[in-house]
């Protein structure tokens, strides 16, 4: 295989040759018992990485599609979301929300610093009268490298009766994520970053509490392609034949399955520790060169 360029970017990341070869497999139909088995195996592996036994959907699109799906299904026009804004992708989420007529409150924090549960609690109390329905947090902010503490912030959000929405596009597969244990209501990711697969797929995981909120919206969801209720309907009615309602990017799913199999072979905790050690080594090397990372050490 031709030597690849070393991609020094958050994603797409370099993809190992055996995963790339899955993309060259003979084309298969996106329906039928054999395909349904492949799709569900991939989905179950993905659920292990996300730390959930709840509904998880794989769809065609990049991370932004997943973020937009999460926001637009969880909140109806006129409802309010608190956006923890300490980087570019949190601001993008706020832009998406406003385009749907959702009121986005920006909890603006310095770039390079992580959010804290105390700061989120203070903001939720301050804006209590505005009826915050959800809080959106980016676990790893690609623009700065900052890691926001999802678990502790989710506890605060739950105590206020709001939904916890997490953008895990650049974090899931790289670091620990426990959707069920942390009581996250909706989370999203994509294939091309921490999952080390080619770009083209994204994932949305939905808790039972989130389903209740989606089903009880003040106005029905005004769309088809990103309608989570329709995704669930297809999944339930055609589980063993065509669990995804339209043409799936079958080659991408084969590659993602291979990548997830390799991730599980390595072991999730061993993988996360390896990433943490490499990151520490890299930052230490920068300092020896006289350079200073742009984000605070304790926030990364």
Which range marks the domain in which residue 90 is found? Answer: 29-258
Q: What is the token pair recorded at 162?
A: 């709001």
pLDDT score recorded for residue 1: 54
pLDDT score recorded for residue 220: 93
pLDDT score recorded for residue 172: 98
> DSSP code of 175?
B
pLDDT score recorded for residue 297: 66
Residue 182 included in any domain: yes
Helices 63-74 and 88-99: crossing angle, nearest 10°?
50
Taking a C-beta distance cutoff of 8 angstroms, is the pair 114, 63 a contact?
no
Lookup result for tokens 């505005």: 130
Give pLDDT < 70 ranges for the chain: 1-4, 297-299
Residue 114 included in any domain: yes
pLDDT score recorded for residue 270: 98
Residue 269 included in any domain: no
Residues whose CB falls within 8 Å of the CB of residue 66, separated by 6 or more in sequence, listed in order: 59, 169, 188, 189, 190, 202, 203, 204
Residue 291 included in any domain: no
Number of residues in the chain: 300
* Distance from C-alpha of 61 to C-alpha of 201, rounded to nearest angstrom: 5
Residue 183 included in any domain: yes
Beta pairing, strands 140-141 & 132-138: unpaired
Q: What is the token pair recorded at 277?
A: 């050690």
Residue 274 included in any domain: no
Q: Where are the beta strands (DSSP E) in 16-171?
A: 55-60, 80-85, 103-108, 132-138, 140-141, 146-147, 163-167
pLDDT score recorded for residue 11: 85
Taking a C-beta distance cutoff of 8 angstroms, is the pair 49, 197 a contact?
no
pLDDT score recorded for residue 27: 93
Residue 201 included in any domain: yes
Taking a C-beta distance cutoff of 8 angstroms, is the pair 199, 191 a contact?
yes
pLDDT digits (tens, 9 = 90+) for 238-266: 999 999 889 999 999 999 999 999 999 99
Max CA separation in the chain (angstroms):
60
Residue 47 included in any domain: yes
Q: What CATH code is carried by the domain that includes residue 178?
A: 3.40.640.10
Q: How many domains does the chain have?
A: 1
Residues whose CB falls within 8 Å of the CB of residue 235, separated by 6 or more in sequence, listed in order: 55, 57, 243, 244
């Amino acid at each position: 295989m031709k030597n690849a360029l070393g991609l020094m970017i958050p994603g797409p990341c370099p993809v190992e040759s055996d995963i790339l070869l899955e993309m060259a497999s003979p084309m298969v139909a996106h329906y039928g018992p054999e395909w349904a088995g492949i799709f569900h195996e991939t989905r179950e592996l993905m659920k292990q990485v996300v730390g959930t036994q709840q509904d998880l959907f794989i769809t065609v699109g990049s991370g932004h599609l997943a973020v937009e799906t999460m926001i637009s299904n969880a909140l109806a026009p006129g409802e309010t979301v608190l956006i923890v804004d300490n980087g570019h992708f949190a601001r993008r989420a706020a832009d998406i929300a406003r385009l749907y007529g959702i009121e986005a409150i920006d909890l603006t924090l310095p770039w390079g610093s992580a959010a804290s549960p105390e700061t989120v609690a203070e903001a939720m109390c301050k804006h209590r009268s505005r009826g915050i329905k959800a809080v959106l947090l980016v676990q790893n902010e690609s623009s700065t490298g900052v890691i926001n503490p999802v678990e502790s912030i989710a506890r605060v959000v739950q105590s206020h009766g709001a939904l916890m929405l997490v953008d895990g596009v650049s974090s899931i597969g790289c670091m620990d994520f426990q959707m069920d244990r942390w009581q996250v209501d909706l989370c999203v990711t994509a294939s091309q970053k921490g999952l080390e697969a080619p770009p083209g797929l994204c994932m949305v995981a939905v808790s039972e509490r989130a389903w209740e909120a989606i089903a009880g919206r003040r106005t029905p969801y005004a769309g088809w392609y990103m309608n989570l209720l329709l995704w669930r309907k297809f999944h339930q009615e055609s589980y063993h034949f065509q669990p995804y309602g339209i043409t799936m990017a079958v080659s991408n799913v084969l590659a993602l399955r291979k990548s997830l199999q390799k991730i599980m072979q390595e072991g999730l905790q061993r993988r996360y520790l390896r990433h943490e050690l490499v990151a520490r080594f890299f930052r230490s090397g920068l300092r020896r060169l006289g350079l200073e990372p742009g984000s605070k050490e304790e926030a990364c």
